[in-house]
Amino acid sequence: MNYDYDVCIVGSGAGAAPIAYELSKAGKSVVVLEKGPWYKTEDFTKDELLCCRRSVYTPNLKDERHVLENKNDDNEWIGRSTYDTGRDFWNGNMVGGSSNLMSGYFHRLKPEDFRLFSEFGPIDGANIVDWPITYDDLEPYYTKVEEVVGVSGKIVDHPHQEPRSTQDFPFQATAEHPIVNKIDEACRELGYHSIPTPRAILSKNALDRKACSYSNYCGSYGCATDAKGSARAALLNPAIETGKCEIRPHAMVFKLESDESGKVTTAKYYNEQGKIKSVSAKVFVVACQASETARLLLMSIGSKHPNGLANNNGQVGKNLIYSAGGSGSGDILFKNYNDSEIAQLKIQGLFVNRSLQDWYVIDDRAFGKRSKGGTIDFLFRHANPISRAISQKWGPDGLQWGKALKDSIKSYFTEGRHLRFEIFNDWLPTDDCFVSLDPEVKDKWGNPVARLRLGYHQHDLKVGKYLANKAESVLNKMGAENIYSSISGSPPPNLVAGGCRFGDDPATSVLDKDCRAHNVENLYITDASFMPTGGSVPYTWTIYANSFRVADIINSRL
Amino acid sequence: MLDTNQKSAADKFILNKLDRRSFLIAAGVFTGSVSLGGLLSYLYRKYKIQPPYSGSESEIIRHFHDHLFPKTADSPSASEINSIDYLQFVLIDPEIDEDNKSLLINGVTWLEEECQNEFNKSFMNLSASDKNRILRIIEEANWGYRYISLNLNYILEALLSDPIYGGNPDEIGWQWLGHTPGIPRPTDSTKYNSK
């Protein structure tokens, strides 16, 4: 049989690009179908209006939306469209996906994350399982990401440093803001081990990309130098140069057709003009972010897949997870510092590369039994001026305006720096967090939208609050004022995983340990969908690493 | 003045009314040498279409915006950051939610009705304390809260967005707050709705 391509990849982000990179370099023909547009490096500016105040990098909600289910006061799950609520659940709708817009806080998982059930035991109401692979299986690929995508940092000894096959990062850490000295000093006094946060950002020209320009606008923005290790800059651009990889933007895949044997034969998609097109390939890889990946499989009914592709055991969409935790902040007010210190604090653009992983495992009687903990990252509040000013429109008695508003804005912008922290801990998989197809709401092409039930486990909040207290103690020791934190079960849309978990038992998983669908011989899923538990760090590095691992597996069969 | 090519772009914009693609082209007409207000007035005049606000409505909004964001010794007023022209730029953007646009257009009428009912005067003729009073009254209603909140959002966008969008003239907003913009800044070929 003739095929259009060896490999067809749906999606172009961190889960997709390593496949395109490795297989095109190996001489295989690859096509990448991406729903969003194809922005080039020169398109990316530091324009808050475009980046963050309008739906440019995400679909317009009137065209494409989600239905989100949350519990009401009567304990009933109520679904509401994001178009009606304005709560946007999209991110990174473009070639390279949301990796274009990440901050690039890169932490590896740790060995315990691969055996959460064995290490910490069951928790009532949570579907915790061990992974079918170990940290040792993934370690070479974490190293590969450091070298190919580009991870900068510095290894320092600390109680939860994961094993490494190399001594240090291939790229030295990005330049740091002087406030890290105050964070380090506070942590030393508290007996904590502050560590440099590894970043997927090049500190020097390398890999045919330019070094970071320290523009002060990193997260949520596309990178204007390609220093950020986006899937587009780091992997798709080199893949295209092989002449074996074709990218098709504005290609919204709505069905994977399968034959009588159950194999996928064709990807059907709408092009920019709304016309239906199709592509055939030997192998199909789906990586369009967890909820959309599950949605595509559920929409792809075939004679061997009456409940949706790879869903004969009803597992597709189940055990969706997010990153649990939350954030907090404290004000570093200039009035408490001398002129020289104020000048240092006012420096813009340099990074606050500091994290704490002292409580990656919590072994504290006050907390309870030995438990999985998480990571604390420190950062300045985003530089976006409009959003910072708008945050001041609420006063003590409702909206504020006039002199009160102007005084608040002036004070917020000029009297100090706002040091934030973010907490990352496991969002335990439960029966109350999953993706299905909405029975009524359609997208602009007439296909059912993803309906997301967004339940969380109370244990997630307990861990998050424990970590937030530790982070607050650092800010307190630094002399910050107005310290607060917010830990909730509200899921961050950009930190989503699960829904097609991998495992050895087809009855309880969608994929085998190679990330191939149990009952679809030529279908692989390589975004974060495969993760049965999420670990307590941002997912991107692990997505990249696993996708490189699966690329080797696919390459060996072609 | 607008040159021939610019008029051609404007023609396309109007002929297609608020068609997105044409808006993108028309928005590209507006450069640093032509004010946003000037472009809008030109389009309304040439094609004899109604601007979103009548003259008197614009005047009420000017008083409303300058009350929300008044001039102080070290900071500009809403008028000085071109907030009304900026609001009209928002109103012709097909990407902006239609419900919000309707509220921005109708809200001025409803605000004025509330002023007539409460004080038998136009908002423009109220004292500062009565302006605060009427805004606190409408804030209690869902529409009023949203109306004030939306206008604050767009005033602050006019204050702090790149001057290429018509607000923040001469970077007056950034200077007030000591804000340093990121590099690269948007150009006519990379700004919002340029493609």
Q: How many CB atoms lie within 10 A of CB B98?
A: 9
Nearest to A47 among B145, B173, B186 (CB): B186
AA letter at B143: W
Nearest to A47 among B159, B174, B185 (CB): B185
Strand-pair category, A374-380 with A448-454: unpaired
Position A1 scores a pLDDT of 77
CA-wise closest residue to A543 among A166, A206, A285, A221? A285
pLDDT in tens, B41-97: 665 665 555 667 777 889 999 999 999 999 999 999 999 999 999 998 899 898 898
Q: Which of B24, B66, B132, B161 to mutate to test the interface with A (most CBs of A within 10 A)?
A: B161
Give the DSSP letter string of B119-140. HSS-GGGS-HHHHHHHHHHHHT
Position B55 scores a pLDDT of 79
Indicate if the pLDDT at residue B17 is higher than 80.
no
- Mean pLDDT for B16-36 is 44
Report CB contact under 8 Å: B160, A398: no
Q: Are A291 and A435 in contact (CB under 8 A)?
A: yes
| Phi, then psi, of A532 in degrees rounded to 5 | -75, -30
Angle at which helix B20-27 crosses helix B4-15, to 10 degrees, equals: 160
| Pair of tokens at residue A168 | 């240090």
| Closest residue on chain B to A405 (Cα) | B69
Q: How many CB atoms lie within 10 A of CB B23?
A: 19
Position A104 scores a pLDDT of 97
Domain boundaries, chain B: 1-50+179-195, 51-160
Nearest to B161 among A48, A348, A409 (CB): A48
Indicate if the pLDDT at residue B6 is higher than 60.
no
| Pair of tokens at residue B115 | 């002023």
Position A63 scores a pLDDT of 94
AA letter at B160: L
The answer to whether residue A40 neighbours chain B at the CB level (below 8 Å) is no
Whole-model pTM: value is 0.93
Report CA Rg, chain A. 23
Per-residue pLDDT of chain A (558 residues; tens, 9 = 90+): 799 999 999 999 999 999 999 999 999 999 999 999 999 999 999 999 999 999 899 999 999 999 999 999 999 999 999 999 989 999 999 999 999 999 999 999 999 999 999 999 999 999 999 999 999 999 999 999 999 999 999 999 999 999 999 999 999 999 999 999 999 999 999 999 999 999 999 999 999 999 999 999 999 999 999 999 999 999 999 999 999 999 999 999 999 999 999 999 999 999 999 999 999 999 999 999 999 999 999 999 999 999 999 999 999 999 999 999 999 999 999 999 999 999 999 999 999 999 999 999 999 999 999 999 999 999 999 999 999 999 999 999 899 999 999 999 999 999 999 999 999 999 999 999 999 999 999 999 999 999 999 999 999 999 999 999 999 999 999 999 999 999 999 999 999 999 999 999 999 999 999 999 999 999 999 999 999 999 999 999 999 999 999 999 999 999
Report CB contact under 8 Å: B165, A50: no
Distance to chain B for A125, nearest Cα, Å:
40
CA-wise closest residue to A391 among A412, A368, A375, A376? A412
- Mean pLDDT for B128-140 is 97
Distance to chain B for A211, nearest Cα, Å:
14
Nearest to A409 among B145, B162, B177 (CB): B177
Q: Name the most confidently modeled range: A198-212, B12-26, B96-110.
A: A198-212
Position B94 scores a pLDDT of 87
The answer to whether residue B178 neighbours chain A at the CB level (below 8 Å) is yes
Contacts of B184 in chain A (CB under 8 A): 44-46, 224
| Pair of tokens at residue A122 | 């069951």
Distance to chain A for B97, nearest Cα, Å:
8
Q: Are A370 and A363 in contact (CB under 8 A)?
A: yes
- The whole-angstrom separation of Cα A428 and Cα A432 is 10
Greater confidence, A395 or B32? Answer: A395
∠ Cα A448 A97 A200 (to 5°): 150
Position B35 scores a pLDDT of 59
The answer to whether residue B28 neighbours chain A at the CB level (below 8 Å) is no
Position A237 scores a pLDDT of 98
Length of chain B: 195
Report CB contact under 8 Å: A47, B97: no
